[in-house]
């Protein structure tokens, strides 16, 4: 009986973990992973499949969020974001944040000869996830409101918060698909694509940071209406696409023979 009671408590704790701690939510991260894989060259696809070792793209994209409840990965919790208050610029630091964690994982994969296959896989999963996180504006947002988590809103008559609206509500409510995102690919010419694919994590955060003005353009009564959703749906689709494009660029860079 004690064992059953303990298991029930664990289950209740897991259920109570708020989804709004996660960037893009499960569907968003799956989309980034799928877009990134779709845009890869054939040789890099083979390398990715090899190291994922049977793990699906959706599982790869969501692995870091799925491991949050595992105490062995407690050290990764601060890797998902960086806080930069309004009007400030990012200043280089040695503290744990998404920029340092992503750069470290890229460096380890590029020099993977000394790593075991399991270590390569773990760093690959970090890259899959953090490239996605980096392109959700509220993961490079303001610590003062916990990346929008502290801002309670009404999303189409449902209780939510600003972070969840961007990582889950709009993506799921508008049924955004990989095809919706890939359709935007034609809007970029070859020069723009080359510029987007240039690997510079510190520079990459400028783009989602510039979108924060759109994120916070909510009504005074904190109501998220359909007009807000319509305006920002395309922005979210574009961010998912750019994240996938840059994920493919990183993967091709690290696995280039």
Contact 243, 171 (CB under 8 A): no
Taking Cα atoms as reference points, which of 255, 254, 247 lies closest to residue 31?
247
Does 44 fall in a domain? yes
Percent of the chain residues past pLDDT 90, beyond the cut: 88
* 73: containing domain: 21-254
Question: CA-CA distance, 207 to 204, in Å (whole number)?
Answer: 6
* pLDDT above 90 for 20: no
Which helix (H) or strand (E) segment holds residue 223: the answer is strand 223-224
How far, CA to CA in Å, does 99 sit from each of 19, 102, 126? 22, 5, 12
Question: CA-CA distance, 105 to 98, in Å (whole number)?
Answer: 10
How far, CA to CA in Å, does 17 sit from each of 10, 68, 80, 151, 165? 11, 10, 16, 18, 17
Contact 162, 137 (CB under 8 A): no
Question: CA-CA distance, 187 to 178, in Å (whole number)?
Answer: 16
pLDDT band at 22 (very low <50, low <70, confident <90, very high): low
Structure tokens, 169 = 């509500």
Say how many domains are in the chain: 1
Contact 252, 224 (CB under 8 A): no
pLDDT band at 170 (very low <50, low <70, confident <90, very high): very high
Three-class DSSP category at 154: strand
Does 240 fall in a domain? yes
Does 7 fall in a domain? no
Mean pLDDT check: name the lowest of 16-25, 67-76, 83-92, 119-128: 16-25
Does 15 fall in a domain? no
Greater confidence (74 vs 14) lies with 74
Contact 48, 250 (CB under 8 A): no
Does 96 fall in a domain? yes
Which helix (H) or strand (E) segment holds residue 159: the answer is strand 158-161
Does 227 fall in a domain? yes
Residue with tokens 């609206």: 165
What is residue 4's predicted lDDT score, i.e. its pLDDT?
39
How long is the chain? 257
Does 12 fall in a domain? no
* pLDDT above 80 for 235: yes
Domain CATH code at residue 79:
1.10.575.10
Does 217 fall in a domain? yes
What is residue 94's predicted lDDT score, i.e. its pLDDT?
94
């Amino acid at each position: 009986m004690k064992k059953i009671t303990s298991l029930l408590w664990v289950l209740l704790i897991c259920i109570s973990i708020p989804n709004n701690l996660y960037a893009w939510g499960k569907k968003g991260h799956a989309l980034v992973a799928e877009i990134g894989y779709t845009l890869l060259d054939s040789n890099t696809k083979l390398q990715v499949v090899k190291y994922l070792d049977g793990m699906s793209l959706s599982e790869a994209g969501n692995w870091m969020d799925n491991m949050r409840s595992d105490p062995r990965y407690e050290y990764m919790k601060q890797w998902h974001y960086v806080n930069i208050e309004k009007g400030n610029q990012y200043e280089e630091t040695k503290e744990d944040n998404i920029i340092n964690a992503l750069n470290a994982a890229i460096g380890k994969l590029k020099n993977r000869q000394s790593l075991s296959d399991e270590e390569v896989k773990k760093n690959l999963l970090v890259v899959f996830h953090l490239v996605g996180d980096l392109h959700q504006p509220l993961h490079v947002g303001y610590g003062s409101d916990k990346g929008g988590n502290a801002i309670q809103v009404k999303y189409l008559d449902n209780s939510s918060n600003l972070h969840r609206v961007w990582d889950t509500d709009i993506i799921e409510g508008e049924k955004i698909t990989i095809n919706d995102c890939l359709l935007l690919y034609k809007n970029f010419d070859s020069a723009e694509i080359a510029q987007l694919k240039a690997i510079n994590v510190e520079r990459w955060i400028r783009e989602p940071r510039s979108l924060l003005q759109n994120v916070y353009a909510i009504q005074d009564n904190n109501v998220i209406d359909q007009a807000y959703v319509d305006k920002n749906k395309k922005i979210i689709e574009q961010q998912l696409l750019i994240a996938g494009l840059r994920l493919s660029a990183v993967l091709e860079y690290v696995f280039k023979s």
